[in-house]
Amino acid sequence: MANHPDLLVGTEHGDDAAVYRLDEKTAIIVTVDFFTPITDDPYEFGLVAAANSLSDVYAMGGKPLVALNIVGFPSELAVEMLGDVLKGGYDKATEAGCLIVGGHTVDDAEPKYGLSVVGLIEPGKEVSNSNAQPGDVLVLTKAIGTGIITTGCKQGITPDAILKNAVAVMAELNKGASEAMMRVGVNSCTDITGFGLMGHLRGMVRGSNVGARIRVADVPVLPGVWELLEKGTVPGGTFRNMAGVKDCVDWDDSLTEEQRLLMCDAQTSGGLLISVPESKLDQLLSELEASGVQTRAVVGDITAENPGRIGVSP
């Protein structure tokens, strides 16, 4: 594990990105993410992959500055498809005010795309996943279930309208949510991606040495997810996530297997999970609304009891 006086956030708590101080007024946020296609449309794939990569900077409260493309692409596929992927990434980065200044491409058996991003933050203002405080309220800014929906797409059973809506949610930047939380001042934040809601919350409670409670009924769910769950549509990563949190999650006995799986569903470009003092909750919700953030769900709270554990109730 790297250790340096100017490394303000490293790998110790599994944060979304690293933060390195350049001087008293400037720190850089560095992160990288890429994955295989989650939609058959190459342009949409580029949009979502870029939004996902930029999200790590937003989760820290930073502003994306520059990025590099990371591409794996089969040589036998039409190069026009790659152009569409890169166009999607370029358009989403432009929306974020982030410049794509180059990148690297390799011949790969399966397409892959994402960004390495550098962002800016004032030292000391970065928001990590390891400062949640007892009494905080947990706010989630996007509905979950993208892993189930995109798996259903690969199986050919996700309705087009359901997939279209999920792609729009995944392609939405977390910019507005990030700016809102920075105006308010919050204690902790993480974005919900591959490890699912439970996996990323586990990182928060362990890093902060606190406990958490989540109410399933309050967690927003994308349209079509429950119907796909009833058909047994669950990505492999979601099963692995559930196995990975079995040592820290206390499930209420009344919760169904489907509900538990959904709480662990591997997300792509999910929302921010924000830990905010209860006294600032109303202000945060107002700021999120003013920023155009459609989902502003109060899903649970942080406790002093049972540090490192998550209680999940109906």
Q: Do residue 72 and residue 144 come from a single domain? A: no
Q: Which residue shows structure tokens 């934040």?
A: 189
CATH number at residue 91: 3.30.1330.10
CATH number at residue 146: 3.90.650.10
Cα angle 199, 124, 211; round to 5 = 30
| Interatomic CA distance for residues 206 and 260, integer angstroms | 20
Q: Do residue 146 and residue 75 come from a single domain? A: no
Q: Do residue 174 and residue 219 come from a single domain? A: yes
| Interatomic CA distance for residues 309 and 244, integer angstroms | 13
pLDDT digits (tens, 9 = 90+) for 50-89: 999 999 999 999 999 999 999 999 999 999 999 999 999 9
Whether 2 is covered by a domain: the verdict is no
Backbone phi, then psi, for 277, in 5-degree steps?
-55, 140
Q: Do residue 71 and residue 140 come from a single domain? A: no
pLDDT digits (tens, 9 = 90+) for 136-194: 999 999 999 999 999 999 999 999 999 999 999 999 999 999 999 999 999 999 999 99
Give the domain range for residue 51: 7-121
% helix, strand, coil for the chain, step of 5: 35, 25, 35
Q: Quote the pTM value.
A: 0.96
Confidence of residue 1 (pLDDT cuts 50, 70, 90): low
**Closest of 238, 221, 207 to residue 302, by C-alpha:** 207
3 pLDDT above the threshold of 90: no
Confidence of residue 16 (pLDDT cuts 50, 70, 90): confident
* Total domains, the chain: 2
